[in-house]
Amino acid sequence: MGLRIAFALLFLPASVSLLHAQENATSPLAPAVPKASAEVSPQLDAIRGESQAFVDAVNRGDAKAVAEMWTSDAHYIDDSGQSHEGRAAIEQAYAAFFEQYPGIKLQVAIDSLRLVGEHVAIEDGRAKLDPAPDGSAGYCKYTAVHVKEGDTWQMASVRESWVEAQATPQNIADFDWLIGTWVCEEHGVRAESVFRWVADESFIQRTYTTTAIDGTTSSGTQMIGWNPLEGHLQSWDFSPGGGHAIGVWSPVQSGWVAEMIGMTGDGVPTRSVNLLARLDANGCVWQSTQRVAGDVALPDTDEVVMKRKSEER
């Protein structure tokens, strides 16, 4: 993978900067991957409309309207693991929920929506209730199977899983080791990222610049900080060409994982799972996996090794 592409993608949905680089692909480092575009599908648009209608019905507290969006024999497993079989049982469950939590509001982010047949589609996303029931901090991940019955799309199966926010917030100071300037260089292409504390050390700002063989440059910026409402570390990313993304960061044994959701400057939805691991005081490695632009799956990037400038730390 070319350095110009790889380093520009650090922490971002990789497809965002990849597409921008292809628009200026005079460099031999530009990979031969076709530009993705958002799928134009009346069927998917109809499902998105049904999903919004579902949110609206929940926010009205209308259990009957919610239940009508399911097939008669639908199967629903909620985030507590409880199973509900059939439309009548689902209506009863929502009615009890609305009675217990009057006025509760639902927010949904669709991460993936794809047709797997003429009359079947699969939706993956995240949902959050406000106020959070019982004060629990976190959000719900879900997978929904939609089927078309006549001219209407309905939910045949939904499975939820609860993602608990950590009781003890990760400290943004965990990223203190990144402060400074990091570089990569390959085949005459130089990439540099500068990390600095801002806002009284409440956030870390990263700015990056890549310089190609012909001297052309591209740049972007990122902010990393604690999201107190959601209860996790989060990044806000702004890339060349008007692309932007939000990342949710979680610690793992080898370092950090960032689940990225964003959009290119020309409106193509993007997502990826990015990995960051510290090698030592002066080295770290990054990789972007599970990359999707629009409905096009992109290959994982190679691992990118970055080194701190020798005069620092």
Closest Cα partner for 172 from 196, 194, 137, 207?
A: 196
CATH class of 42-164: alpha beta
pLDDT recorded at residue 91: 96
Name the CATH code of domain 3-37+168-308 (choices 2.60.120.620, 2.40.50.100, 3.30.450.20, 2.40.128.20). 2.40.128.20
- Which pLDDT score is estimated for 21? 32
Collapse the DSSP code of 297 into the 3-class scheme (helix H, G, I; strand E, B; otherwise coil) and give the result.
strand
| Three-state helix/strand/coil letters over 28-89 | CCCCCCCCCCCCCCHHHHHHHHHHHHHHHHHHHCCHHHHHCCEEEEEEEECCCCCEEECHHH
In angstroms, the CA 210 to CA 190 distance is: 6
- The confidence score (pLDDT) of residue 137 equals 67
Residue-by-residue pLDDT tens, the chain, 313 positions: 343 333 333 444 433 333 333 333 222 222 223 333 344 578 888 998 999 999 999 999 999 999 999 999 999 999 889 999 999 999 999 999 999 999 999 988 887 888 988 899 999 888 888 887 776 667 788 999 999 999 899 999 999 998 776 544 456 788 889 999 999 877 777 889 999 999 988 899 999 998 988 989 989 999 999 887 777 889 999 988 889 999 998 887 778 889 999 999 898 999 898 999 999 989 999 888 888 888 788 888 888 889 998 765 4
E strands, the chain, in order: 70-77, 83-85, 105-117, 120-130, 138-149, 152-164, 180-186, 189-198, 203-211, 217-227, 232-238, 244-252, 255-263, 269-280, 283-293, 296-298, 304-308
pTM for this model (two decimals): 0.52
pLDDT recorded at residue 132: 78
Neighbouring C-alpha atoms within 13 Å toward the C-beta of 179: 13
Ranges of each domain in the chain: 3-37+168-308, 42-164
The rounded distance, in Å, linking the Cα atoms of 293 and 15 is: 6
CA distance 269 to 292: 8
Phi/psi at 203 (nearest 5 deg)?
-135, 155
**What tokens appear for 121 in the block?**
């589609």
